[in-house]
Each structure stands twice: as structure tokens, then as C-alpha cells.
A and B are shown apart, each in its own frame.
Chain A
Amino acid sequence: MKKDIFQAIADPTRRAILTLIAIQALTPNAMAEKFDMSRQAVSKHIKVLQESELIKPEHSGREIYYHFNPKKMQEIDNWLDQFRRIWQTQFNQLDQVLSTLKKQKK
């Protein structure tokens, strides 16, 4: 199932992971070390981030490196723009209503 990206980045540890791997792809072990966390805890965060498609795994020999997926972030911004347009539509309608009301008052 696709995860809600807001949920994925609502957690401070996951944000820190993203910041870190945006600079350099890391293995789960390396992440666990950097954050002084158990492998298990890291795996849980990785799972959420991967399901939201914010990170992508890449196999290199026996290791898995996780990469940041900037495209996904961009996608979200593009997607949010639709929401912005909805508001714009509503407000343009309100402009009309207000102008009508102003005329009625006069």
C-alpha cells in the first residue's frame, strides 16, 4: 500500500534519515550506527519511507543502499498545486459574491 507522505515525514527521525541520505546513499547498518538505533528500529523507518517512495533501494553486492528520491518530493509539490488551484477557484467565486453584495448595499 502507498503510504501518506505527510505521515512519512512527520517523524523527526525519518526526516533526519532523509537529510542524511540526500547527501549520500546509506546502508541500513550505516544508518543504525549514525543514529545510534537498533537495526530493527531503522528497518521500520526505512519501510515507511520506501512505501511512500521517498527513498529507493539499490543493491550493491550483498548490501542494500538507500537513495533519496527527489522526484517524489517534486511530485508532491506539483500535486499540492492542484489544491492551491481549488482555493483559487473558491476565492475567485467569493470575489464575485462580495462584489454583488457590495452593490446591493449601496
Chain B
Amino acid sequence: MKNDLLFDFTVDKTTKTVFITREFDASLSLVWDAFTKPEILDQWVAPKPWLSRTKFMDFKVGGRRFYAMVSPEGQERWAIQKYISISPKTNFKMFNAFADKDENPELPGSEWDYNFSEQNGKTKVIITIYNESLARLEKMIEMGFKEGYALSMKNLEEILATLSQK
């Protein structure tokens, strides 16, 4: 298996902070694009068979991204993000909240801090989520991501199949 890529997920329950670290086998500029360009984001942020559909995304300080996770039955779960700060290819921070279909955020949301760094051709992404609540996490899982486990196995199979063809 190719997945010798670093993956770390920890939660500090007392401070409601989530820490996620993941390494990607790609250059910094490519990974940066994958996190900041809607056409690429929509290709991976929703666990299959869910789809991500970005209605608009204005990646600049003060700009917003409004998008929906769409279930196979066509059910839409909206979320809105607002960019707080951006240092190209290094860091960006945003405020993230679930929303209704009319762009009204469901407060309180959480604050997301993304850090990017490249080393030996691999790019490390460190994500810190502040003020995450159990209720919000619960909602994420309710959002159809329950199947995530079974699906991740399926995705893994697909990846392995692709790799073995090489």
C-alpha cells in the first residue's frame, strides 16, 4: 500500500480544538490549489457518493464560499465559509458554519486554520479547528457521512486498483 503518508487526527476535548495533519505526495502549489480552487475542492471534499457543489467562492480576505453537500437523493446541506486571512501557499484562515439555502449561517460556527509546507516533494497540511462542538461534529456525521467508513474502504480499493495498473 502506498499510504505511508502521514495522517494524524487528535481532538482536545477540553478546548474544543481539532488537530489534523496530513501529508500529500504532490507539490505545494498543487496542494494549495486543491484546497483553494472550487473546481478542485468539489472533486474531493464530499465523501462519495455525496457531491460537493460550490455555488460561489471568492477566495480573498473577506470573501466567502457558499457550497452544498448533495446526497445521492439530491438533498442539499449548505455551508458557508468566510476567509479571514490568506498568505499564499503558506496559510489561510476561515470561519466555517452550516447554513440554510439562503446563505444564513447557523451560529456558532468554528474557525479553521490551514498551514501548508513542502519537504522533499511532499506537502504537509496542518489543519486546526477551533471552537468545534460535539453537536457540530454530530451533524457532520448525520450529514450522510455515516457511511464514510465503508466508503473509505471502497475508495481505497479504487486507489489500489489504479495504482496496480501502473
**A residues neighboring B (CB under 8 Å):** 4-7, 9-10, 15, 76, 80, 82-99, 101-102, 105
Q: Are B44 and A96 in contact (CB under 8 A)?
A: yes
Residue of B13, B26, B45 touching A98 (CB-CB under 8 A): B26
Q: A10-B14, A10-B16, A98-B34 are in contact. Are A90 and B133 (CB under 8 A)?
A: no
Instruction: Tell me the interface secondary structure of chain A in the complex.
Output: helix
Q: Are B20 and A6 in contact (CB under 8 A)?
A: no
Give complex CA distance A91, B35 in Å.
11
User: Which B30-46 residues have C-beta < 8 A from chain A?
Assistant: 30-31, 33-34, 40, 43-46
Q: How far is the CB of A73 from chain B (nearest CB, A)?
A: 9
**B residues neighboring A (CB under 8 Å):** 5, 7, 9, 11, 13-16, 18, 20, 22, 24-26, 30-31, 33-34, 40, 43-48, 132-135, 137, 140-141, 145-146, 148-149, 151-152, 155-156, 158-159, 162
Give complex CA distance A39, B34 in Å.
54
Residue of A5, A15, A92 touching B152 (CB-CB under 8 A): A92
Known A82-B146, A95-B5; 5 more pairs at CB < 8 Å: A6-B13, A83-B18, A85-B149, A97-B40, A97-B44
